[in-house]
Structures are given as C-alpha cells and as structure tokens.
Chains A and B, each alone.
Chain A
C-alpha cells in the first residue's frame, strides 16, 4: 500500500469559471460580440459575452437590448426620468428610451471572456 496523501483531508473542488461567472445558470446565455461599439468598455469584437437575464439592470450596467428587432450591447444610462442607451465608442449616437423606438432590455452583461488568440487580427495588433 502506497502512502496515503496528506492532502486528502483538505481536498477542495477546482476553481470553475462557470461557478465564478454565473449566478443564475438557468437564466444565463452566451453571445458573440462582432462590432466595436463597446471597445472602450473593454469589449473587443470576438469577445464572448456572458449575459444574465435574471439580473436587474442599473444605471451604467452593460446590457443586451433588443432595439427594433436587433440585438445590441450598450451602457444603460438613467438620470431621473430620462433613460438612454449609450455606446462606449464616442462616434456612435445614443438611443433615447422615450417610447419612440421598440426597446427591450433583455439582460445584463455580467462577464466578458476574451481569448486573445482567437480575436480578429486588427483587434490584436500591437
């Protein structure tokens, strides 16, 4: 019989990314960013977005919204009665949430996974 491991009594589960990132597994979905509207918020094209539909969005949350049938990623901004969606990219105009457009906040981006090797070349360039 070999020596019993002295570590056995101290065994713990390995660190799991799923456990660290995801609070509501049943309400969490993945999306792939394919534009640079949130580049300045550290979300490059190619990033994997972890989106939690159960999370309540606050001012400055990064959210997944459906605007006129299209999914977009934006900052949710609120100031008193006023609410709008703002890109991190300053060249992209904000979208006012004043009932003119059909806008649904679908979920909150709770994590961004960047696999550097898999990013498109123009983003990786250094």
Chain B
C-alpha cells in the first residue's frame, strides 16, 4: 500500500505555527510580489476567496472580514517542510518528496494496521510542527492521491484508506475526471466529450480507447485507477527539465535599460541553477509583458525562443543571447510588469555535443564560472556579478506583509511578552 501525505493549507498553516492569534482567522498567503492568493486557510476558503485571486481584487473583502494577508515567507515554509518530511521518514521505509507540502510513502511489506499508523503519523506531525496533515492510503499512487483528497474534502477526518474494491469504487465515483492526478484540463475535456464524468467512468474505459486518446500515460493511469501500481518512484529528485526565473518588477517599468538589467539578472540566476545541477541548456525562452489587470494601459505580450548551437551554462553567453532576444521583442511606450527567462532542453553538462565551428574556449569558461560560483557561495549571492546586472535592485520583490523568519533567523524568533 502507498500513502500520500499532504499538509493542509500548508503556507497558511505555517503562518499560524508562531502566531496563535491566527487560529480560527481567515488567512491568505500571496505569491511573489504580493500578487495573487496562493494559499488560503479554511476560513478564507469559506469566504469564497479562490486560488489565484489577485489581492487587489478582494481588497474590500479583506478589510470587511479582517482577512489576514501574508507575503510568501519561503524561508519559514522551507524549514517547516523539512521538519514535516523528516517525521514522515520515520513512518515508512521509502519516502518520495513530491512537493513542498506533499510526500508519497511506500508501505510495501508492512504488516501494521495502516489506519492506526496514519493516525499516529498525523498526531506526531501535529505535535512536533503544529502543521495539520491529511493521509490517503491506497494500492497505487494515483488512488492514494485521490483518497487524500477524499479524506480532506468529503470525510473531513484527515485519513482515508482504500482497502477493498468497494472502498475504491466509492472514491472513484466521488471524483470528477478533472480532479484525477495527472489529468489536465485538455484530457478532462476529452473524457467529458466521451461521456466520462467520474474517475469510475474512466477506470472502466476500454483500454484501446485510452491508449489511442491518451497514449502510454493514459494506459498507466488506467492501471493505477484499477489498483495496479504503474507510476515509478522517484526517491531522488531528477534534475529539472527546464528552469524558469520570472518575476513581476514590483513596480511598472518603461525604460529599456531597467528591463535589460532585470533580464540579465534572471538569466544569470538561471545559469547559476544550471551549473548547480550540472546541466546545459539548448534553448533560451524570453517573455515580456504588461499588466493585464490594468485595463487603462495598452497591453503587450511577446516571447521568443532562441535555439543555441552548443548547449551552455555560461552566464555571459546566455546573457548575450537573452539580451539579443530582448532587443527583438522590446517595444518602447508600454508599462511593463513582468519578464521571465526559461532555459529549456537541458542536457547533462558532460554530454554536450561540441560544435564544429565553435570558437569559444569552453574549458576555460567553465573554470571562470566555477570561480564565480565559489566566491558567491562563500560571500553571498551576486557578490561577484556582471556589470550588466547592475547594482541597484529596482525589480526587488514587493513583500509588504512578510512574517518573521521564526526558525531560521535568531533575531526573528518569537518574543514572549506576556
């Protein structure tokens, strides 16, 4: 049997750990730059605040209902996540960290009563971290994920184990196709067109149809829904297939020189991450956009993908390409809000195909980057940087509602006043 353990409203719950006044209060946590609601406490959900709602659209509701608003405090969430995951590792021989607030547990071969174990796990995590979690247990990962959702949304008990065929059928019937793990909006539409509304309908779909419409992924999914484990375990996270650095500017920007600086910085950040995972990119994608919520502004969105002749992770080379792309897509006279750099088609550093006409001294460039990364690791991010990255950080994140970093900075620990 497998389990999916999921922290309930994780970011909102983290904010509560060191601020007991927030118990029972509606809480929302905003994305980078205080853009949209990316986490909501149960009380905030009850007010009808949807995931992804831009904060400015619910300003009145926030004031009227006294919703507590937070900027995302990733130092805190990261540490609390580590603490939760450490505990999960005591309960199962194999744990796959799926996201910052979710993990799969492999209970194969364990003879214990899993309901009892799950209950103990929930209590331990709650006591040690004050974070509430839900547990779904089932014969496959897909069903475990579904059981977890069922435990949270329908049973509201926090634990759901699917042992028998009947248990599984109940949950399959209660799950819409669009809510199945691995079914995106496109595939959900496809199912609905073929009169499949619930996971139970899809589980009974003819194999040929699924294979034809959804390829091998669909076949795997069909197995999983029928209780045959078919999704691999990733006990070590694989290197990422692409790396994105994209941020809103914090305030609108019109000047090209400011955007050049932002693009240079985002590209440098991508290059550093590439080197950290020993990859090189074969493509660079750049996008630039205005703020779609400012209806009074003229709107502009452009992006460009540039293939690279030789895959690289060399900062100056990537910055040069990104700025070339920016030159192609930049138009003056707009209020720009956001840009982003995505490096794609990553290959392992040691499997890069050399270019026949490549004039760059790549071994030397690699050495330079090693020195650069070494210095920045010891002295702080961007201690040594390229001039084009600039010195002032105009596009600095807006984090107006940031809570203290209670667990990672001694000066931020809670003060006991009463």
Residues of A within 8 A of B (CB): 24, 26-27, 29-35, 37, 48-49, 53-54, 64, 66-67, 69-73, 102, 104, 106
8 Å CB interface, B364-418 against A: 406-407, 410, 413-418
> Which 8 pairs from chain A and chain B are nearest by CB?
A27-B128, A69-B21, A66-B20, A26-B86, A26-B83, A34-B415, A30-B413, A32-B415
Number of B residues near A (Cβ < 8 Å) is: 21
Within 8 Å by CB of B414, from A31, A35, A37, A102, lies: A31
In the assembled complex, how far is the CB of residue B374 from the closest CB belonging to chain A, in whole angstroms? 27
**A26 contact set on B, CB distance < 8 A:** 82-83, 86-87, 128-129
Task: Given A26-B83, A26-B128, decide whether A71 and B410 contact each other with a Cβ distance below 8 A.
Answer: no
Within 8 Å by CB of B416, from A27, A31, A53, A104, lies: A31
**B128 contact set on A, CB distance < 8 A:** 24, 26-27, 53-54
Residues of B within 8 A of A (CB): 18, 20-21, 23, 82-83, 86-87, 127-130, 406-407, 410, 413-418
Within 8 Å by CB of B417, from A27, A29, A35, A102, lies: A35
Within 8 Å by CB of A35, from B20, B86, B87, B418, lies: B418
Task: Given A26-B86, A69-B23, decide whether A49 and B416 contact each other with a Cβ distance below 8 A.
Answer: yes
Complex CA–CA separation, A117 to B366 (angstroms): 48
Judge whether B86 and A70 touch: CB under 8 Å: no
Within 8 Å by CB of A29, from B127, B407, B416, lies: B407
Interface Cβ pair total, 8 Å cutoff = 63
| Interface SS, A side | strand
Q: Which residue of B lies closest to A92 (CB)?
A: B418
Judge whether A70 and B407 touch: CB under 8 Å: no
In the assembled complex, how far is the CB of residue A76 from the closest CB belonging to chain B, in whole angstroms? 15
Within 8 Å by CB of A53, from B21, B130, B406, B418, lies: B130
Complex CA–CA separation, A31 to B414 (angstroms): 5
Within 8 Å by CB of B418, from A24, A29, A54, A70, lies: A70
Besides A49-B416, A71-B20, 13 new A-B residue pairs in contact (Cβ under 8 A), listed by A number: A24-B128, A26-B82, A29-B18, A30-B413, A31-B416, A32-B414, A34-B415, A53-B129, A53-B130, A69-B20, A69-B23, A70-B20, A70-B21
Complex CA–CA separation, A54 to B129 (angstroms): 9
Judge whether A34 and B416 touch: CB under 8 Å: yes
Task: Given A26-B86, A69-B21, decide whether A32 and B130 contact each other with a Cβ distance below 8 A.
Answer: no
Q: Can you give 18 A-B contacts (C-beta < 8 A)?
A: A26-B82, A26-B83, A26-B87, A27-B83, A27-B127, A29-B407, A30-B410, A30-B413, A31-B414, A34-B415, A34-B417, A35-B417, A53-B127, A53-B128, A54-B128, A66-B20, A71-B416, A102-B23
